[in-house]
Amino acid sequence: MSQLVGIVLAAGQGTRMKSQTPKVLHRLAGRSLVAWSVGAALEAGADRCVVVVGHGREQVEADLRARFGDRVDFAHQAEQRGTGHAVRCAMEQALEGFSGAVFVLYGDCPLVLPSTIRRLVDARGRAPLSLVTATLADPTGYGRILREGGAVVGIREQRDCAPRELAIDEVNPGLYAIDAAFLREAMGALTTDNAQGELYLTDVVAMAAKAGGAIDVPGDMGELRGVNDRRELALCGEVLRRRINDALASSGVGIVDPACTYVDADVVVEPDTTIAPNVHLRGRCVVRSGAIIDVGCVLQDVEVDAGAHLLPYTVAADSRVGPSAHVGPFTHLRPATVLHEGAKVGNFCETKKTIVGKDSKVNHLSYVGDGVLGEGVNVGAGTIFCNYDGFQKHTTVLDDGAFIGSDSQIVAPVRVGKGAYVASGSTVTRDVPDDALAMSRTKQVNKEGYASRLKARFAFSKKSST
Ligand code: UD1
Ligand code: CA
């Protein structure tokens, strides 16, 4: 079988986005636009993929390397002289002597399905080129498909169209399968004789029509829409969201309201889970069977184990919520928080780089940072781990069964031993031995009858001052 290579064009700045970020690095469902295109190319069966980069070259390369490793090669287009010039860069820099077939797609078309690319590649047969075409109620901005006697004879860019050509509603979505040898020759014949003074890849279609035929494959614009501005970015985001949520729902995930549930493409959600409205699962989250993610939770790279329950408005990053653990409502798990089985972090708490052992509880209004909590520990309301001295972070260790009374400050580095008690309102600065009681607050004094004497004194001073 002859080899198949994908070429993805991603060198443009995308001025219509009005952004410092190169257009192809804008993200949808956790992936850059260009990563969506490259992913589709590889999934369609390309042996490798050559990406033409220019604007934001280093960033684009880094983004794709991180995701695809050696399966992508790069060609550099230093000056953006048009889509034809971009393909020429790919042929000269990365495909010299290559004699199989290529397919070309643009780096700003995140919705393209691998099955469409496959269809296009198969349809070409022995012809020099095949392309996808689609009809659009409003074809503005797209290159128009020119036909003679039913056959495709060329593409005319919007800006080069004669008035009657502007009325053509069949457009070029920008997907082509091309014989490499033919393409190499066609590249040499391109001219800048057009409204933009660029080398147009689209001119190759007319050359193919003369050299054996341009085979057209009907496509659906719903899948082929490009991103040129922020409005189109949002529209494509909506389509991807629907695809992801539909796939999850059919696999058995209980998505309560798919219209307002935001799950990145690389997230794994097991069947028989519940995802409430306004939840965002970002990056590489994993949600295991039986877990419930309640309203408004925002999770980034979090693993939620079986049967765990995140109550409304939990915000968490780079953390792990163990089996049957409970979190929230309104709680913030910062990076490197690990909750073991049955652990509980209740409302209005903040955790960071802390392990909470099996069945341990941090239930109300606490900050626990740089902590190691054993099993069956109880941290009372309003406890603060004082982990930072302005220079370094220090660790607090609470051994199994330790009990911290409410409103205590634990000044790290410090250890509270097995089964030990810290009395409410204490400031702990020294280690507490196993089974000891630590109490650092001042002793209570009761003065009998003192309250009414005080009130009389206050009333008198108020009267004499008015
Ligand atoms: C292009 C097509 C048009 C088609 C439309 C579909 C051409 C001449 N026109 O127009 O027929 O209907 O796409 O979306 O091909 N790029 C480079 N180097 C360049 C220029 C562009 O790498 O020198 C890349 C861009 O980064 C982008 C892609 O090619 O990812 C398409 O470029 P863009 O300027 O958006 O082309 P359109 O004007 O939309
Ligand atoms: Ca475009």
- Ion ligand 2: residue ranges with CB closer than 5 A: 226, 228
22 in Cβ contact with 44 (< 8 Å): no
pLDDT confidence bin for 84, thresholds 50/70/90: very high
CATH class held by domain 4-224: alpha beta
pLDDT at 1 over 60: no
pLDDT confidence bin for 199, thresholds 50/70/90: very high
Average pLDDT, the chain: 97
- Percent of the chain predicted with pLDDT > 70: 100
Give the position, in ligand 1's atom list, of the atom nearest the Cα of 55: 26
- CB of 421 within 6 A of ligand 1: the answer is no
343-373 residue pLDDT tens: 999 999 999 999 999 999 999 999 999 999 9
- CB of 127 within 6 A of ligand 1: the answer is no
Give me the CATH code for the 251-438 domain, please. 2.160.10.10
pLDDT at 100 over 70: yes
Q: How far is the CA of 37 from the centre of ligand 2 (A)?
A: 13
Q: How far is the CA of 262 from the centre of ligand 1 (A)?
A: 29
Strand partners, 223: none
- CB of 264 within 6 A of ligand 1: the answer is no
So what's the pLDDT on residue 306?
A: 98
349 by DSSP, 3-state: which? coil
- CB of 157 within 6 A of ligand 1: the answer is yes
Q: How far is the CA of 308 from the centre of ligand 2 (A)?
A: 44
For the residues 4-19, what does the mean pLDDT come to? Answer: 96
46-81 residue pLDDT tens: 999 999 999 999 999 999 999 999 999 999 999 999
So what's the pLDDT on residue 465?
A: 87
Q: How far is the CA of 54 from the centre of ligand 1 (A)?
A: 13
Active-site pick, 26, 280, 326, 364: 364
Active site residue 394: no
35-50 residue pLDDT tens: 999 999 999 999 999 9
pLDDT confidence bin for 466, thresholds 50/70/90: confident
Q: How far apart are CA 372 and CA 359, in angstroms?
A: 14
For the chain, what are the domain ranges?
A: 4-224, 251-438
Q: How far is the CA of 23 from the centre of ligand 2 (A)?
A: 10
pTM higher than the cut 0.75: yes
From residue 430, alpha-carbon distances to 78, 265, 413, 433 in Å are 63, 48, 8, 10
So what's the pLDDT on residue 387?
A: 97
So what's the pLDDT on residue 65?
A: 98
For the residues 148-158, what does the mean pLDDT come to? Answer: 97
The larger pLDDT score, comparing residue 13 to residue 375, is at 375
Contacts of 3 (CB under 8 A, 6+ apart): 47, 98, 100, 101
Pocket test for ligand 1, best of 83, 200, 203 (most atoms within 8 A of CB): 83
Which residue has the CA at smallest separation from atom 36 of ligand 1? 83
- CB of 371 within 6 A of ligand 1: the answer is no
Nearest to 420 by CA among 463, 371, 378: 378
Q: How far apart are CA 459 and CA 164, in angstroms?
A: 94
Least confident piece of the model among 12-16, 362-366, 380-384: 12-16
